[in-house]
Structure 1
Amino acid sequence: MKLAAVALVFFINFLWTAKCAPPTCYSRVLGLSKEIMDMLDKLQKHPRTKTCVEVLPKMYLDVHNSCVMPKLRDFLYVVENLPTQYCRERPRILLLKRKVRNLYIIINRICYRDLVFFTDDCEALETGQSSPRYGEDRLQLLEER
């Protein structure tokens, strides 16, 4: 009985300690990109910000895509230069702008050379549909089978 109680306390302590570990650069980028996508979805559904978000370019964030930096930069430019003052001053739009800028800075400065890009499909960041592109070596192996 005592052994089970000690094991339970140890397990709970382990879980608590694991939660306290600071996020890695990669986990922060993944989390922030998910927050941005969720926020964009909410902004598109909210009546006060729906018209403002219609101006924004379509964006499906994939931090494993090498085109993510130019896409974030272009998106940030549009958010900072929205056509109406009403849209530029909306608190949720300001929060979106701050999160996109933070993600851009984290990828560009803090995680520089830590992220691995698996694809270079720039169109996938606009459509959300990633088409696999095989390198010459992989394509040759597929053709030989």
Structure 2
Amino acid sequence: MKFAVVALVFFFNFLWTAKCAPPTCYSRVLGLSKEIMDMLEKLQKYHRTKSCVEVLPKMYLDVHNSCVMPKLRDFIYAAENHPTQFCRERPRIILLKRKVRNLYIIINRVCYRDLVFFSDDCEALETGQSSPRYGEDRLQLLQET
């Protein structure tokens, strides 16, 4: 009985210390981009901020897309220069701007050259749907068959 209690305490202590590891740059970028997308979705549904979000550019974040930096920069500019004062002062919009700016800074400064971009489909960041692009060698193989 005593051994079982000690083993259980050791197991929970192990789980607790495993969660104490600092997040990597990549995990922080992924987590923050998910937070931003969830927040955008909630703001689009909330009646007080729905009209404010409609003015902002459409954004579907994919940190593996090489066009993510210009998209974040454009979004920050549009959010900071929103046409209505009411929307610029909304606490949720201000929090969204901060999160987007933090993501931009993390990707640009902290994770500089650590992230790998798998696509360059800029349209996918606006529509949310990526279209497959074939390289020249793959396209040539498709044409031959």
1:63 and 2:57 are equivalent in the alignment: no
What's 1:82 paired with? 82
Structure 1 Cα separation of the partners of residues 4 and 62 of structure 2: 44
Query: SS of 2:55's equivalent?
Result: coil
Question: 1:104 aligns to what?
Answer: 104
Q: Cα RMSD (Å) of the superposition?
A: 1.8
Structure 1 spans left out of the alignment, 5+ residues:
none
Tell me the distance in 2 between the aligned counterparts of 1:74 and 1:113. Answer: 21
Query: Which residue number corresponds to residue 46 of structure 1?
Result: 46
CA deviation after TM superposition for structure 1 residue 2, in Å:
5.0
Name 1:117's counterpart in structure 2.
Answer: 117
**Are residues 1:18 and 2:21 paired?**
no
Cα deviation, residue 144, structure 1:
6.6
After superposition, the C-alpha distances for 1:15-69 in whole angstroms (9 at most, x for unaligned) are: 1111111110000000000000000001111111111111011100000000000
- Matched letter for residue 43 of structure 1: L
Runs of 5+ unmatched residues, structure 2? none
Residue 37 (1) aligns with residue 37 (2): yes
Residues 74, 10 of structure 1: CA spacing in aligned structure 2 closer, same or farther, 3 A cutoff?
A: same
Tell me which residue corresponds to 1:27.
Answer: 27
SS in 2 for 1:54: helix
Q: Counterpart of 1:76 in 2: which secondary structure?
A: helix
Q: Matches of 1:27 and 1:135 in 2, distance apart?
A: 29
What secondary structure sits across from 1:101 in the alignment?
helix
Measured after TM superposition, the shift of residue 11 of structure 1 is 2.3
User: How does the TM-score come out when normalised to structure 1?
Assistant: 0.92
What is the identity, as a one-letter code, of the residue corresponding to 1:51? S
- Paired residue total: 145
CA, structure 1 residues 139+85, in 2 after alignment: closer, same or farther (shift >3 Å)?
Answer: same
Give how far 1:143 is off: 5.9
Q: What is the DSSP-based 3-state SS (H/G/I as helix, E as strand, rest coil) of the residue aligned with 2:61?
A: coil
